[in-house]
Structure 1
């Protein structure tokens, strides 16, 4: 009984921290409809700024808590700067492009933190007067965690009073319910959005500052917290503050008891909870259907390439065929990676553009193909050719299983369910050590003897990846592609003329997964090994960035976006240690000035 009580209190402390982060995220989304990927960066800045203030000020109660509050206010002002300079200019842009802009902010903030505070972990001081533990029925429990629980409850009460008893709260609730009507009534939406962004950012900064006595401050805090915060917000229901509180409580308790009862699945437990909730309640515990929309840009009628466009495409293809013999080994490896990126991006674009389905977990199928090929080589001594054949079938089968659930949802909820399934797949690869090797991966995944030379493998990569991308392009112009666009643009009309929207979306999802798996297998044989990072969140983000940079509205977008993103990453990595900031600034600039993507700058094709 005592152990249960202590674990429950530990879960409440975690829930309080999660709620502070998730509350800011859900308030921002509820009003502005922005899926703010940079919220984790604001949390990280809160911890760093609090560290600087608390260690600079003299020791004592007032300096410590004053530093924590000052850090929260400073982060709130930073959030205002981001809103005014970046997000205010793209409120009318599709939500996925807003997501892309906030990811650019993430990259910039990471390198700013690296330049100011360095790469090492920073250990902050304990809270004055709260360094000990209290006796709870014979068990010792940290006193600071009890205070954190009280702070979480107090913030929840203050937010409830703010939203229920103040004019600002009335405007926020009205904007959450109907933003357009609020503007029609003469309310200054810009000022309201800025105020909401300040509040949400300050809450994130406060959450980060309060972690100072509990954990080290480091450059990985942003990604670690943002995934859990998204889980809390989605499980609770997008835009619902009570839902965020309830979900934080649920997730906190699941984490506290899960590490005792189910230690093998601790890494993915929160995503399992999210998957179950979304399957049973598609809009979260307290969410509404209209809060889920991710607005994909409408794709114009597709046209075949003009004669000039065909000439350019043919010249590029001939150059890709003729160039490899004149390249060195390193350049040939880069060429193979570019081809893999093109197919990976094209497979995601297949469901995002024509299909209208956003995916935050496409790396699951890339990694499934890589592991399928690697396991055949390791356990059955299969040749490379068999591995390349099996990979798309294995990934496609996984896409059929996951897609059966994902394509039934829409908007952010569908995208987050893809992320949940991807994290489940990643956890399986990471923790099933007997089969996958866990974090040590699978080594010795070498190509057949004829493909060992870098030149031969470069040509193999070009043939498989560019061939796969061309097949996907051809499918877009086939009856399946037209059916995909029909169910995306007008589901009711599509159903009326006999198109089974669910079956079309499900089939498209599985096809995209299969081609992503082929890209993963080519990647595995090119590297000679496979690790769980092949299906981790950053790889899914890479694919999303490629598609959005290239342009969702164009068929050539994934090719151009993959080449641009991979080339920029490669060159910036060699030029400067602050390549993330440079890449983030470029991404933000593209979103602000070229919202149709790089391919959209020219004639549509």
Structure 2
């Protein structure tokens, strides 16, 4: 009993820090509708700044003052970023704020290494709280008890701010209906800035409070943001009280999961999130009327099949690529084959985001399933390359068909987070089922057929798959099914009134996208000769999102351009500098500011007739379940 009490209190202490970060993320999304991927980076920055300040100022006042000052510094940085970057793209295509904040995250990861070094940093103990308190024979750190008390105190302070101040009332009103708040004469710009600064302050404070408890490292941002997203979604977007309850749930699952469910402990929180979203799609304390801009974005002009001139241009590009193996070396052909594979992967995600209006945060699941399907078919069944590729496609389709039954019931961020939960579940199976998948050691020796074993042969094969795959997806967009899918995206009620059912139409698109991603994953397995669990991981999903957003969500084939630019730039920077993420993140942010509709979207606008009106701003819609 005493051991379980100690474990429970440890979980509560972790819940307090997690609540601070998650409540800030909830406030930011509730008011601004920004999916702030950089929130974990702000928490990490708060920890690093607090470490530096506590090393410089001694004594109790110096320590505690340093923690608060670190949070204020991070809040000031957040406010500056909101005014200089995010404010410029509030009315850009949906999720472009996600792309900008992802670029900021990349920059932060290398910036902290550049400033503080790559080693883990251990902060000082909190003055007056360096000892432990005996409870039922167990020594409970005094600092853990302080953190346990800190959580409810912050929750109470936030409740007073949100319910007893004019600022808080405006924040809650903006969460419910931003357009009405603007109609009442409230300056939305400064309201958004204040909300963003408050959310970042909480994230910075949550990170700063961790330095006496955990080592500070440059990889903590991803872990923090993933757990914070899980908490916010379980509790309900925009609900601070929900974030508190969900923080306790997630922290206790982490504390006891390794004891009660060791085989699924690393993904237990995602299992709970998936269950909550399936049963109550808007979270434990969320509301049905929570609004979010649709993921669908209209292009600068109506979509139309490719013109004759466009077909000739594309054919010319394909011919040039087909001739590339005659002049390029093996290294560049291998890089080119990888770019072609990720282009097909990004195109499959583009089908969901542009045509279906569904932003998936877990599309790597089907890429990874395709890779494992092909590898297992080769290793366990002894199949040759082409039949193994078919198995990879089948694995991607099967996974998408199963997960899609639950995912397409939702919309907006809830849909995105449920796809992320299923992707993490698939990742945990690949990571822990060592007897079949090889676990962290992966599956090795997945070699292509003899005719594709050379870099030249595999490049031509990858080019053929990419051309046929992207062409098939594009044809689907302009087929009767594609028009029906866009009708569902633009107006669910109108489409259902004319007999186009939203659920099954989007489910079919989900399955098709999963199959195309499975083909890309199967190709990737043969390109690398191996498969590891990171093929299903969060970074792979994020890369897909970045490629689509960079090319342009409001375009049909922007993902191909985005994939080429992003992957080529990533590979080149890694070979040129140790701080490739810093430069790549800066380039992404710069591209977002310069081309807020994506690279292809920008070119489409330039080609539009002079004086043609730009795309209408996305209208808010209700995030609900069917």
TM-score (norm 2): 0.94
Identify the residue that residue 408 of structure 2 maps to in structure 1. 407
Using the TM superposition, give the Cα deviation of residue 147 of structure 1 relative to its aligned residue in structure 2, in angstroms: 0.6
Residue matched to 1:349: 350
1:316 corresponds in structure 2 to 317
Q: Which aligned segments of 4 or more residues in structure 1 are displaced greater than 3 angstroms?
A: none
Q: Is the 8 A contact 1:365 1:398 kept in 2?
A: yes
Q: After superposition, what is the alpha-carbon deviation per residue over 1:35-67, rounded to whole angstroms, capped at 9, x for unaligned?
A: 111100000000000111111223x21221111
User: How far has the Cα of 1:470 moved from its partner?
Assistant: 1.1
Q: In the alignment, is the contact (CA less than 8 A) between 1:551 and 1:557 conserved in 2? A: yes
Offset of 1:579 from its aligned partner? 1.8
Secondary structure (helix, strand or coil) at the match of 1:123 reads coil
The 2-side partners of 1:121 and 1:7 are apart by 25
- 5 Å-filtered alignment, 1:174-573, equals 174-291=173-290, 293-296=292-295, 297-299=297-299, 300-573=301-574
Output one character per residue of 1:485-536: Cα deviation in whole Å (capped at 9) or x when no partner. 1111121221122212211111110110011010001000010000011110
**Shift of the alpha carbon at 1:91?**
1.9
CA contact (8 A) 1:342 1:466 kept: no
**Contact 2:93–2:554 (CA under 8 A) maintained in structure 1:** no
Q: Tell me, which stretches of 5 or more residues in structure 1 are unaligned?
A: none
Stretch of structure 1 that moved more, 527-536 or 93-102: 93-102
In the TM superposition, what is the alpha-carbon distance from 1:183 to its structure 2 partner?
A: 1.5
SS at the partner of 1:301? coil
**In structure 1, distance between residues paired with 2:397 and 2:414:** 22
Question: How far 1:259 sits from its partner (Å)?
Answer: 1.7
2-structure distance, mates of 1:292, 1:16: 28
Larger mean Cα displacement after TM superposition, 184-193 or 467-476: 184-193
Give the distance between the partners of 2:193 and 2:69, measured in 1 at CA.
19
Give SS of 1:180's match: helix
Q: Is the 8 A contact 1:131 1:143 kept in 2?
A: yes
Q: Give the structure 1 partner of residue 620 of structure 2.
A: none
Alpha-carbon contact 1:283-1:292 (below 8 Å) kept? no
Greater mean deviation of Cα atoms: 5-14 or 338-347: 5-14
Distance, in Å, in 2 between the alignment partners of 1:266 and 1:491 is 39
Secondary structure class of the residue paired with 1:141: strand
1:68 & 1:251 partners in 2: Cα distance? Answer: 25
1:117 & 1:507 partners in 2: Cα distance? 49
Report the secondary structure of 1:264's partner residue. Answer: coil
Query: Using the alignment, how far apart are the partners of 1:57 and 1:501 within structure 2?
Result: 60
Deviations 1:141-166 (A, max 9, x none): 22111111111121111111111111
Describe how 1:18-29 pairs up with structure 2 within 5 A.
18-29=18-29
Q: Determine the C-alpha separation between the residues in 1 that align with 2:78 and 2:150.
A: 22
Aligned length: 604
Aligned partners of 1:399 and 1:509 also within 8 Å:
yes
- How many Å separate the matches in 1 of 2:224 and 2:392? 33
Partner of 2:53: 53
SS in 2 for 1:293: strand
* Farther off after superposition, 303-312 or 564-573: 303-312
Bigger CA drift: 577-586 or 23-32?
A: 577-586
The structural deviation recorded for 1:105 is: 1.1
Return the alpha-carbon distance in structure 2 between the equivalents of residues 409 and 184 of structure 1.
30
Q: Which residue of 1 aligns with 2:151?
A: 152
Deviation at 1:292, TM superposition (A): 5.0
| Cα 1:264/1:539, change in 2 over 3 Å | same
Alpha-carbon distance between aligned partners in 1 of 2:277 and 2:417, rounded to the nearest angstrom: 9
Note the C-alpha offset of 1:268: 0.5
Contact 1:293–1:410 (CA<8 Å) still a contact in 2? no
Structure 2 residue 142 is matched with structure 1 residue 136: no
RMSD, matched Cα: 1.4
Gaps of 5+ in 2: 608-626
Kept in 1: contact 2:305–2:478 (CA 8 A): no
